[in-house]
Amino acid sequence: MMIFKKAILAASLLAVATGMAHAEDKKTVAYIAPSLDIDYWQWVARGVQQKAEELGMEYVEYTSENSPAKQMDNARVAVTRGVDAIVIGPVSSTSTPPFLNYLEKEGIPVAFTGIGPQPGLTNYTSAVTANNYETGIAQGKFTCELAKERGGNKVGMLSLPQDRENAQKYLKGAEEAFADNGCELVQMLETKGLTINEAVTQANDLLTANPDVKAIYGMYDQAGTGAAKALETRGMTGQVAVTVADGSPTTIQLMKDGAIQGIFFQEAVGQGIDATEQVYKSLNGEETTQDMALLMPLVTADKIDSDEAKAVIARVFPQD
Amino acid sequence: MNSTSNTLDTNGTTDTRAKPPSVLSTYRTELAIAGAIIVIMLGVGAFVPAALSLGNFANIAQAAAPLVIMALGILLVIITGGIDLSVGSVFSLTGMVAASAMANGVDGFTASLIGLGVGVVFGAINGALVTLAGLAPFVVTLITYAVAGSLAFIVTNGRSVGVAAPNYWLFNSGSLVPGIANYVLFCIIFLICLEFVLRKVTFGRWFYAVGSSSTAAHLLGVPVKRTRFAAYVFSSTMASFAGLLTLSYILNAESTSGASLMLQAIAAVVIGGASLFGGTGSAVGAVLGALMITVIQNGVNLIGINSFWQGSVTGLAILVAVLIDRFSQK
Amino acid sequence: MTSLSSSTTLAERQSNPQRPLVTLRGIQKSFGPTHVLKGVNFTVRPGQIHALLGGNGAGKSTMIRVITGEIRANAGDLHLQASHGGDPKVAVVYQELALIPDLTVAENIALVHAPSGFALKRQAQAALIAEEALSLIDPHLARTALFRKAGDLSMHEGQIVEIARALSTGAEVLLLDEPTANLTAAETEQLFAVLKGLAKDKGIGIVFVSHRMKEIRQLCDVCTIIRDGKTAIDARPIGMLTDAAIIQEMGQPAHRAEAQIARNDGQPVVATLTGPTIQHPIQRGTILGLAGAPEGPAHVISSLIGHGRHRDWCMTGDGWGNAPTSPRDAVAQGIGFVSGDRATKGVLAQLPIIDNVLASRRVRERRLFVGQNERSECAGLMQALKVKAGSAWDRPGTLSGGNQQKLLVARWLGLPLKMVVFEEPTRGVDIGTKRDMYALIRQMAEEGTIVVWWSTENVELLELCHEILAFDTEGQPKGFLPADRFDEDALAELTGMAA
């Protein structure tokens, strides 16, 4: 009985929704996030939403809850609902082939953000991602320099889980940069829970095991916060340098306080904006760029209040 | 030991020692765990001498504090033969609520009270559904685990929140008693109070009675429902307190911060000698269990073993602890 | 009652004894310190329906487990001999059904024939096997019930299916453990017809465990009585035993001489026991026995201690408050409870002895803290009860069943109580402990406490009680029997059971 009622309700809502979409004849863009428990994917959402509004498009949002199956369901639901274009942060690269095959058949343009499609695929409109390898080189070089400024060459790293492709690329770049600049990576700890609390504990353990570390490379935002917190507790703020990738209000504030020396910003909002622009172009038959690997811009403490930095930050997280 | 030919004519005398067992035999499981912890720490110290430094002890204590407090809470539920899967979510939600309150200008103390309210409310919901509606604790707390977990995202739409209240960190790291950091002080106070209640207060003994056989306890006149209800409220409230302690340390609340803590807290209680079937367990054991888990994590990090191995090592520790407990029971 | 009613085919069978299927000689078995079987003899012959009687704890179920091979005897001979050589299959049908409720009747029967679970998929084949098995004993059921879920069957139908299943595997010995306990009179008739047919036509050896005298006479050829782990009567034709003789052999001989009839004539009436159809004054210090099939006494106990749903009985009178709403309320009103179901209703197995003993006092006296004086209190009680334990901090599991039972009594000993309710307190305890329990019950009564005592052993009720309230097999109260009219036969007649 209950299920029956729900079915009727769902059906009528769907009818109303599609009816409205047709009535106004506005194009709709759907954003499919892998999960919404990470700030990053919400910021991408804001970028998509912002750009869609600007372009006069309707915006809808789905969550895949880190499940490739749910991601596929979301694509089907979106198609049933009549969306015209999709911006997706995929659950993983490997989950993308069936997803893309289905949407290609339906003739819907797809743009990736954050994580790209499986290498070798071409049936998508655009992939707007961070260039993790190049960023790894840049952040590795910067971190190494900071260590040397502090009279050492040993660095530690708080890493994303190394089963992730982006983490492997970051690490490859960083290791090359360390080697080229004469630094030694003495310890790398991988996160499991991606929480600040875990990062604090790991930073503490890293510093206990390696008292001669002069700089910490934080591969994700919480790592930066955790390392800064651990150093603060030890009264060593500034004595060991901290660099971090991603960037958030928290880490920006820590940088202003001198607890973090540099942030390599992952332009979450910017990726959402760029991806939406690409699918919009595709809908209008304009030329699109298939691979946009954005280098993550570095902002240091002394430049945080510059206009240049403000422009970067505007493409990182929503300014409200 | 005793014979059944215990008839009126053959058995005139009895041998019932009125002396309670020595501390050594009462806490033999706990002593074994304490020994294991020392062995692990010495083992890690052999690789990394800094592991045995005072600074590292402080690291361990700070990292263990929230887990210790959560383990003490969930211990009570496990003694009654129940389970509380919602503690991790309550931990996260408490942090989000308190931090959001502070971000909106509420002072630290009031925000903390509001945060504790989260625990009390969820504990009361768990307790009511288990005792009044008669639902299985696993199911009930699975529901509240999901609900509190999703509310933790809803509070701020999933965004992490920084703490605005100045000096809020004093709550964790300050020292009400000179020389002892608050996070250690709270653990000690909770430990002593709970151990006293469980051993020396009639109501404390009821938790064991209910866990041992709720029917037998009920027939004896033990207030079974009230006892169960209290266990769930206590568990949830302690999870809230742990959430606040972490918040006041990190000064940042995240929606997922407690996610991994629920299983760790259950593991701590089990390592500490409690049975998931109820009726056994001690506060000292739960604290030692939490310390053991933390020491293992610390050791894995210090030695530089890939942290993905932590789960396996912790699993092994649980197995060893359970086996010790099994075979120390004659 | 003394008529020599006997089965029609008895003479024929006795004159033509076949080789026994099962022979037990001098079987002994102990569990830890408890000697359950102390030399039991028992024989099952083909085509014979054999009544097995014995009080609770006499060793019947242990003996059955020895026969089925579930446990091994410590000493003695167990000889099994099938009619075609080899070991005969022994099947036991317990009171509780062993069918899988979510499978159909056909599947339940075919299950034991299937080499693996996959074969079950072949419904048609399962149905064939099941129909063949069932039609041998109940053609009607075979036609109608094959595809019904076992969980939807009545108790009687379920038993028939179990019996059919057992026989279909080639079982030659069928052990039935109180099969009629949950059956209606009509169903019992049907079952008996089936059993008689099996014995007569197929030469199956049937062992029938029951307390119901009438049924035993109706069905069985011979009777074996086990008492205190030994065979008291070995395969005597049922017609040669009077009811009184059976009762005599089952119980301990009645110790009470005529002069020792329990009396409490001088005591004032302090309460009234009111039931659905009955009302009765209760004197101070009365030992009131409850006898008969479990349903009736269970309702009384449930009502008196406020546990469970039944509330159709109550004690009223000066100083008696409202009927207790919960056991906690009952304890607050001064009503104690001791169950013989120690594992689920009595002992707190994970708690030390001291907690077990003092829990009731902590509830009754609203103690806030675990006091220092509790140690000597516990020691004193255990001394009074002659319970020998290593330490008061040991778990109750280290004690024998009898001593655990005494712990449960210790909870209420010496407390000023209005009433103590006993539920089969001597279940599964040795004779020594039983004697101690009787002494404790008397002691409590002498202190003025009303004792309500349910036992399935009529003999002990007759020995101790001032009055007995008898229930029939339908759970209806049949009236109060005062001490001066105590008589095993009278009680057996009122309750329809020999125990």
pLDDT tens digits along B252-289: 888 888 888 999 999 999 999 899 999 999 999 999 99
Q: What is the C-alpha to C-alpha distance for residues B119 and B115, in angstroms, rounded to an integer?
A: 7
CB atoms near residue C162 (< 10 Å)? 23
Interface test with chain C among B14, B19, B220, by most C beta carbons within 10 Å: B220
Q: Does C373 touch chain B (CB under 8 A)?
A: no
CA distance B329 to chain C (A): 11
Q: Does B201 touch chain C (CB under 8 A)?
A: yes
| Nearest Cα residue to A314 out of A279, A276, A274, A268 | A268
Contacts of C12 (CB under 8 A, 6+ apart): none
C451 membership: H or E segment, kind and range: strand C450-454
DSSP C176: E
Of C223, C250, C277, the residue at which a domain comes to its end is: C250
Contact A195 B255 (CB under 8 A): no
Question: With contact defined as beta carbons under 8 Å apart, do C447 and C471 qualify?
Answer: no
Same domain, C308 and C182: no
**CA-CA-CA-CA dihedral for B317, B321, B324, B329, to nearest 10:** -170
Instruction: Report helix, strand or coil for B161.
Output: strand
Query: Does residue C279 lie within any of the structural domains?
Result: yes
Interface test with chain B among C34, C36, C331, C348, by most B beta carbons within 10 Å: C348
Contacts of B9 (CB under 8 A, 6+ apart): none
Question: Which of A195, A209, A234 shows the shortest C-beta gap to B302?
Answer: A209
Instruction: For residue B224, give the chain C residue with the closest CA.
Output: C328
Contacts of C249 (CB under 8 A, 6+ apart): C225, C227, C232, C233
Same domain, C170 and C273: no
C225 membership: H or E segment, kind and range: strand C222-227
Same domain, C315 and C400: yes
DSSP string over C94-145? -SS--S-TTSBHHHHHHHTT-SSGGGGG-HHHHHHHHHHHHHTT-HHHHHHS
Q: Does B4 touch chain C (CB under 8 A)?
A: yes
Q: What is the C-alpha to C-alpha distance for residues A154 and A164, in angstroms, rounded to an integer?
A: 25
Average pLDDT rounded to a whole number, residues B299-303? 84
Of C250, C283, C315, the residue at which a domain comes to its end is: C250
Q: Which amino acid is at A266?
A: Q
CA-to-CA separations, B38 to A6, B43, B299, C345, in angstroms, rounded: 58, 8, 12, 43
Question: With contact defined as beta carbons under 8 Å apart, do C148 and C107 qualify?
Answer: no
pTM over 0.80: no
Question: ∠ at Cα B33 (B27, B38), nearest 5°?
Answer: 125
Token code pair at residue B287: 């604290």
Token code pair at residue A20: 């409205």
Of C231, C250, C269, the residue at which a domain comes to its end is: C250
CA distance B81 to chain C (A): 11
Q: Is the pLDDT of residue B8 over 80?
A: no
Same domain, C399 and C272: yes
Same domain, C198 and C326: no
- Which residues on chain A are in Cβ contact (under 8 Å) with B307? 189-192, 202
State residue B252's pLDDT score.
84
Contact B212 C344 (CB under 8 A): no
Same domain, C34 and C167: yes
Query: Does residue C173 lie within any of the structural domains?
Result: yes
Surface of C (32-61) touching B: CB under 8 A = 33-34
Same domain, C240 and C361: no
What is the per-residue pLDDT across B94-119, written as a single tens digit (0 to 9) for each?
999 999 999 999 999 999 999 999 99
Question: With contact defined as beta carbons under 8 Å apart, do A237 and A227 qualify?
Answer: no
Q: Spell C119-150 as b/e; 16+ CB within 10 A means b.
A: ebeeeeebbebbbebbebbbeebbeebbeebb
Instruction: For residue C306, give the chain B residue with the closest CA.
Output: B219
Question: With contact defined as beta carbons under 8 Å apart, do A143 and A241 qualify?
Answer: yes
Contact C345 B21 (CB under 8 A): no
Q: What is the C-alpha to C-alpha distance for residues B269 and B70, in angstroms, rounded to an integer?
A: 10
Query: Does residue C143 lie within any of the structural domains?
Result: no
B62 membership: H or E segment, kind and range: helix B54-79
Residue numbers of chain A with a pLDDT score lower than 50 = 19-23
- Which residues on chain B are in Cβ contact (under 8 Å) with A208? 48, 50-51, 53, 55-56, 59, 302
Question: Which of B48, B158, B252 shows the shortest C-beta gap to A36?
Answer: B158
Token code pair at residue A24: 């106004």
Surface of C (139-178) touching B: CB under 8 A = none
Residue numbers of chain C with a pLDDT score lower than 70 = 1-18, 33, 56-57, 83-86, 95-96, 114-122, 181-182, 251-265, 497-499
- Residue C354's φ and ψ, nearest 5 degrees, are -60, -40
C315 membership: H or E segment, kind and range: strand C314-316
Question: Which of B50, B250, B259 shows the shortest C-beta gap to A209?
Answer: B50
Same domain, C279 and C164: no
| Nearest Cα residue to B246 out of C69, A195, C437, C295 | A195
Question: Which of A205, A233, A249 shows the shortest C-beta gap to B162?
Answer: A249
Same domain, C178 and C39: yes
Burial of A121 (0-12, 13-18, 19+ CB in 10 A): middle
Same domain, C181 and C53: yes
Topology, domain B53-327: ABC transporter involved in vitamin B12 uptake, BtuC (1.10.3470)
| Nearest Cα residue to A259 out of A203, A311, A210 | A203
Contacts of C4 (CB under 8 A, 6+ apart): C239, C240
Chains C and A are in contact, defined as 3 or more C-beta pairs closer than 8 angstroms: no
Q: What is the C-alpha to C-alpha distance for residues C171 and C89, in angstroms, rounded to an integer?
A: 4
Same domain, C227 and C344: no
- Which residues on chain B are in Cβ contact (under 8 Å) with C324? none
Which domain, by its residues, includes C245? 10-99+153-250
- Which residues on chain B are in Cβ contact (under 8 Å) with A198? 260
Q: Is the pLDDT of residue B126 over 70?
A: yes
What domain count does chain C have? 2
Token code pair at residue A61: 């949002």
CB atoms near residue A306 (< 10 Å)? 11
Q: Which amino acid is at B184?
A: V
Q: What is the C-alpha to C-alpha distance for residues C358 and B220, in angstroms, rounded to an integer?
A: 10
Token code pair at residue B274: 């409690």
Question: With contact defined as beta carbons under 8 Å apart, do A113 and A273 qualify?
Answer: no
CA-to-CA separations, B185 to B68, B178, B194, C46, in angstroms, rounded: 12, 10, 14, 78
Token code pair at residue C442: 């008397």
Question: With contact defined as beta carbons under 8 Å apart, do A209 and B48 qualify?
Answer: yes
Question: With contact defined as beta carbons under 8 Å apart, do B298 and B56 qualify?
Answer: yes
Q: B-C interface: how many C-beta pairs under 8 angstroms? A: 160
State residue C178's pLDDT score.
78
Looking at residue C265, which CATH number applies to its domain? 3.40.50.300
DSSP string over chain A? -HHHHHHHHHHHHHHHHHHHHHHHT--EEEEEES-SSSHHHHHHHHHHHHHHHHHT-EEEEEE-TT-HHHHHHHHHHHHHHT-SEEEE--S-GGGHHHHHHHHHHHT--EEEEES-PPTT---SSEEEEE-HHHHHHHHHHHHHHHHHHTT--EEEEEE--TTSHHHHHHHHHHHHHHHHHT-EEEEEEE-SS--HHHHHHHHHHHHHH-TT--EEEESSHHHHHHHHHHHHHTT-BTTBEEEEEE--HHHHHHHHTTS--EEEE--HHHHHHHHHHHHHHHHTT----SEEEEPPPEEEGGGTTSHHHHHHHHTTS---
Same domain, C175 and C271: no
Question: Which of B153, B249, B306 shows the shortest C-beta gap to A37?
Answer: B153
Query: What are A16-24's contacts with CB under 8 Å, separation 24+?
Result: A17/A81, A18/A81, A18/A82, A21/A58, A21/A81, A21/A82, A22/A82, A24/A58
Question: With contact defined as beta carbons under 8 Å apart, do C496 and C212 qualify?
Answer: yes
- Which residues on chain B are in Cβ contact (under 8 Å) with C350? 208, 211-212, 275, 278-280
What domains are there in chain A, each with its CATH number? 2-124+269-294 (3.40.50.2300), 132-265 (3.40.50.2300)
